[in-house]
A and B are shown apart, each in its own frame.
Chain A
Amino acid sequence: MNESDSRAGELARLFEESLSRYQAALAEATSESALRVVHARYAGKEGEIRKRLADALKAAPGPDKRAVGQAGNTALQKAEELFGSRLVDLHEQKRQADLQRRLDVTIPGRPHRLGGLHLLTQVRLELEGIFAELGFQVATGPQVETDFHNFEALAMPKDHPARDMQDTFYLRSHDPSHDPLVLRTHTSPVQIRTMLQQKPPVRIISPGKVYRKDDDPTHSPMFQQIEGLCVDEGVTMADLKGTLLYFVQRFFGPGIGLRLRPSFFPFTEPSAEVDIECFFCKRSGCRTCKGSGYIEILGCGMVDPEVFRHVGYDSEKYSGFAFGTGLERMTMLRYGISDLRLFFAGDARFTEQFR
């Protein structure tokens, strides 16, 4: 055995020994980071194997260097393989362990609280959408109104018995020479304001709060109305009836019919109350319709020439219709709510039912 062979054998043993300790250390490491520390210690730039290789290269005579280098590379390659396979094992172990986790999926989840719009807001937005389909735009106006806009311009002069139909809240006046101020009893003043500002064609709906001096389960001192107005050349009462049928079937459901009953409002002529076929009992008679098969839902009519006179429209040239209904009434009918006061009680248990 020559010197060169014995040195080679010595070197191989050294690498073998390093690798064997390295393998043991890898086996002990149970995390990826620990694994990498071990890897660095043996197979890294400053690691033991490289160090031994460098020493051996330095000591080896010229012709042997090539063989030494080859042995070292073989050892390093083995070290990388060991590291790689151990890393895969470790990942697999971790994966297997993770897959063993078992949650109680029936525990209630962490809540993400939903807010919500008031039921009346939801219904208002829906109605605005329905009337938008027919080309009606929303118009608004003040809730405190002058007597002129709330009554006079709507053909209800002072001393008119029709004023009894709407019990009115008046504001305390600081100056009695002014037109009295009222909490508007309907949103019709918005129609007046719109017509005073705009020439026909006019096609608006005016949703909003209105006030009447009433307080019981079916009357609230404040409630919301939604009124419509359509004025142009050639607008007829048949147009009114068709518009209402469209609205009724969109809101209450397809196939529901309506009937117009003549009635009286000072600002429309002819005037009518609108009944829809009772959708609870299909006209066979129930509590909601009081056995009549019909439910009253709104008032309407052709705009009275007197109203046109007040806003400066020529009633020979233009005609129009108007209608108005209570948002609460629509909502109560559709959802079967019997006490109007619930809408304004601010009880979260009521509000949160309607998301």
Chain B
Amino acid sequence: MKVSWNWLCELLDLPAGISPQAVAERLSVSGVAVDAIHPIGKGLSGAIVVEVRGKRPHPKADKLTLVDVFDGKEVTQVVCGAPNVPSPGEPLSSPRLVWARPGATLPSGMTLSVREVRGVPSPGMLCAEDELGLSEDHGGILILAPEDGIAIGADFAQAAGLPDFVFELDITPNRPDLLGHIGVAREIAALFRHEGVRLKPTSTDPRTVLGWFADPVHCRDCDSPEHFEKAPRIVVEDPEGCPRYFAHRLTGVRVHKSPLFYRLRLQRLGVRALSNVVDATNLALLQFGHPLHAFDLGKLAGQQLMIRRAKAGEKLKTLDGQDRELLPEDLLIADVEQGVAVAGVMGGQTSEVGETTTDVLLECAYFSPARVRRTSKRLKLHTEASHRFERGTDPSALPEVADACAELIVKLSGGRLAAPPTDVYRHKIPTQKLTLRPERTTAILGLAIPTATQKDCLEALGLGVTFDGQLLHVEVPTRRPDLSREIDLIEEVARIYGLAHLPMTLPRLAMAEPPPPTKGMTIYRNADRARLLCASLGLSEVLLFSMTSPERVRLGEGKQATRPHLLDNPLREELSVLRTRLLPGLVELLRQNLAHGQTDIRLFEVGEVFLPSSPGELLPTERTHVAAVLYGHRDHFLKPTASDALDFFDVKGLCEQLLDGLGLKLCLQPSSEAGPRAVFIRVATENEAPMLHPGAAAAVVAAQSGELLGVFGELHPDQQKSHDLPNPAFALELVVPALPIEKQPYVAPSRFPGASRDLSFFVDDKVEAARLMDTLWHAGEPLLRGVSLLEDYRQPGHVPTGQKGLLFSLTYRSDERTLTDEEVHKAHQRVISHLGAKFSLQLRQ
């Protein structure tokens, strides 16, 4: 919210020497953040208001005009380049301009002199708004009307209320009382109470300056017959939505532009000046923080207002020209025929105050914050009024605010009050009465503040405080809906006393048992372990959004019909669903990084995916995955050669390292006896790995449960093409296990040497290496300690058709002695015959 320094000064007794900057600084450290201070018209002096007495074209330049201006004493000719120089009218009723005379200074720092413009001397210049520091507008010179009430020859800066400073305040939602100048002034008075700053008493009581109200008559009972005729007729049908409705009736109003001073004041605070009546309501709003609305009484059917729930589907054209369709939860202001305003949000067009308006019904009401907020949210119509009503305005202030506004309307429009006001206020909203234990303040803050000081802090804010020797009894005015509990008072004490006084301590560390490990924390730790493993394996981590596009989800899921979770209000289509896999995002990054000129790319991500909820669960199933993409070459010297190109076994090796590092045991076959950490690798189906090449895709499967834990392999050629990848890419995605990584007991290395024997044979090329290795391991040979595959060769001509040649190295060892050649030989033969019994082998050598 913007506030004007000059306006604040009108409301405060402010000793000299307290600068706007000092005030802003103090506000900022006390809970009212001042985001910026804008000087307005700073440095402007010597500019005066003059009347146009004549104009003619410049003899040598089409776009220049010679203007005769009258400053009350004499006429001077000034050269002007603006396109909008007005023609003179009758003396003393001609348009008026702002003339910066020689010697005048402008906010830009320029000092004016007599200057020759294309051969014609020009003393000073006629000013546009930007030159006066009023706005950025340089469309033409500023033109004033005689009605602006500024005398010819008057100093412009003084008449326009310049210089001024506009503060941009960031008001937190709990402080509706600060949404007007009075509230801010009250806050400043509290913060500077020791420097003698006080709120002026008159600023809160307009009746002292408005004679009509010498004996104010408030109609508490609108059904009373003697007042019924003249007072505004108000029927509140929905007192829950509108606990109080206060209205003035004005007559004899003449609607026209407001004087310059007020127009500029509104403009400075970001409000468009419209007409004197509407401007008066806006000025009252800015002063008190309480919204008002002026209806053209002549346009209200039946000349009365009803505050009721809207009928379902009831329509209203609001002031912004939009047709609004309403629901019964919306609070409506209506005349006898139709709705004329959405209560607390925006007025309707039909009863808008315009040039023909002579009689005004001035509304100053208190509406239910929640009701206004719901309507404003649903209509997506956030206004200065709704902003304040939904935060909670002050129900007690209505007469004061309405009176001040009426006074201003009278002053600006020449009208008068036609009747006593109407005040419908059936159930008075009471002030809060709270108690504060002074020692509780100490307990919360960790700082002992004397009771008298606490009392002083609260009183500075205008709260009524008494001390009974034990408790502080605090009466909270209705303008502070945020103060309803003891803790709220403690906050106010802390705020006004100053958080800078808080000492710094560390909390006592009490004895507590370590919390039991949770599944969530196990996954969190394993996820960090997966990150470290990937990084140590040469991959770089990336982080991508959890939101993605439906298309990308389809890419990752293939034909599988996993229904992703959709956002109800996405920012855009590409971020409208929650991802179900990590790979689609990573593969897209390959494309982007190639486009950036990268060649060999290794990226990984560890993050959550969002799967359909488990039965009976409200929340989606969140699973943490680790995924990686590899592209290009292995580490190579200078220029990569063909044999440096990555292949399937690079990603498989990566996968094996990850599984091992995450505490999973790689075995070769499914097995119901395997532990929960045993996994094996098999060919993946197309459904399991839709993004991968069907001939080079593997699945990681839990050996015990058969659950799919991940896939890896070569990127599908179609994906390679659609992602503009010239060469094959390799990818991996695994579920981060939820099992804690087991601590392995230490096994001392054997003191006795092992002996290796080769085993080479041809076998049907459909027989998977894993089956052979599994059979070797399960030969029951106690001395067999190692099986490694050394060769897999398939060159035609060297290998019988349909077969492949395999070379294994088998290691034998005993933990008790060094084996003899013969023992090794016998063991090797036992293993070979076991394998030979299961597979048709053609042994070699």
Contact = CB atoms under 8 A, between A and B. Distances in A.
Interface of A: 107-108, 110-118, 120-121, 125, 134-135, 137-146, 159-162, 164-165, 169-173, 178-179, 181, 183, 198, 201, 203, 209, 211, 213, 215, 221-222, 230, 232-239, 241-243, 245-246, 259-264, 269-273, 302, 304-305, 319, 343-349, 351-352
B337 interface: no
A352 B596 CA distance: 14
A6 to B, nearest CB: 54
A135 B509 contact: yes
A301 to B, nearest CB: 9
Contact of B445 (A142, A230, A237, A262): A237
Please provide the 3 A-B residue pairs with the shortest distance between their CB atoms, ordered closest to farther.
A236-B446, A238-B446, A264-B172
A198 B515 contact: yes
Given A115-B534, A261-B499, A262-B499, A348 B601 contact: yes
Nearest to B585: A346
Contact of B544 (A113, A134, A138, A346): A346
A275 B539 CA distance: 37
B297 to A, nearest CB: 33
B537 interface: yes
Given A116-B540, A162-B173, A165-B173, A243 B506 contact: yes
Contact of B538 (A114, A169, A173, A349): A114
Contacts of B565: 144, 171-172
Interface in B332-355: none
B370 interface: yes
A270 B567 contact: no
A190 to B, nearest CB: 9
A28 to B, nearest CB: 37
B30 A115 contact: no
Contact of A260 (B172, B490, B502, B575): B502
Which of A144, A215, A349, A352 has the most C-beta atoms of chain B within 10 angstroms of its own C-beta? Answer: A144
Given A179-B618, A262-B491, A230 B507 contact: yes
A233 B507 CA distance: 10
Contact of A239 (B495, B506, B601, B636): B506
Interface stretch (B144-152, B602-610, B837-845): B602-610
A158 to B, nearest CB: 8
A280 B208 CA distance: 54
A234 to B, nearest CB: 7
A312 B499 CA distance: 29
Interface stretch (B59-67, B155-163, B230-238, B524-532): B524-532
A164 B391 CA distance: 11
A142 B491 contact: no
B495 A117 contact: no
A171 B528 contact: no
Given A171-B568, A270-B445, A270-B487, 10 more contacts: A116-B540, A118-B541, A134-B506, A159-B369, A179-B618, A232-B507, A238-B446, A262-B30, A344-B545, A346-B603
B619 A144 contact: yes
Contacts, number: 254
B216 to A, nearest CB: 33
A113 B515 contact: no
Given A264-B172, A349-B596, A209 B506 contact: no
A171 B445 contact: no
B503 interface: yes
19 contacts: A115-B541, A139-B521, A159-B373, A165-B173, A169-B568, A171-B566, A203-B509, A236-B445, A237-B446, A238-B447, A242-B506, A261-B33, A262-B495, A263-B31, A264-B31, A269-B487, A269-B490, A348-B540, A349-B596
A230 B508 CA distance: 10
B541 A117 contact: yes
A88 to B, nearest CB: 32
B483 to A, nearest CB: 11
B571 A234 contact: no
B603 A116 contact: no
Contact of A238 (B369, B502, B602, B620): B502
B642 interface: no
Nearest to B540: A351
A351 B528 CA distance: 17
* Interface size class, chain B: 35 or more
B444 A348 contact: no
B578 interface: yes
A347 B636 CA distance: 22
Contacts of B444: 236-237, 270, 302, 319
Interface string B761-795: 00000000000000000000000000000000000
B592 A346 contact: yes
Contacts of B506: 134, 239, 242-243, 246
Contacts of B490: 269-270
Contacts of B508: 232, 234
B569 A138 contact: no
Interface in B503-524: 503-510, 512, 514-515, 520-521, 524
A120 to B, nearest CB: 6
B374 interface: yes
Contact of B540 (A115, A181, A272): A115
B488 interface: yes
B541 A211 contact: no
A2 B392 CA distance: 144
Contacts of B819: none
Contacts of A349: 596, 598
A213 B571 contact: yes
Which of B495, B502, B524, B604 has the most C-beta atoms of chain A within 10 angstroms of its own C-beta? Answer: B502
B312 interface: no
B738 to A, nearest CB: 12
A344 B544 contact: yes
Which of A162, A236, A345 has the most C-beta atoms of chain B within 10 angstroms of its own C-beta? Answer: A236
Contacts of B447: 236-238
B542 interface: yes
Contact of B521 (A140, A233, A263, A345): A140
B279 interface: no
A238 to B, nearest CB: 3
Contact of B547 (A159, A178, A222, A351): A222
B542 A346 contact: yes
Contacts of B620: 142, 144, 171, 181
A345 B620 CA distance: 26
A107 B500 CA distance: 61
B223 interface: no
Nearest to B535: A115
A115 B635 contact: no
Contact of B618 (A135, A181, A302): A181
B84 interface: no
B504 A238 contact: yes
A272 B444 CA distance: 14
B510 A259 contact: no
B543 interface: yes
Interface in B600-648: 600-604, 608, 610, 618-620, 622, 635-638
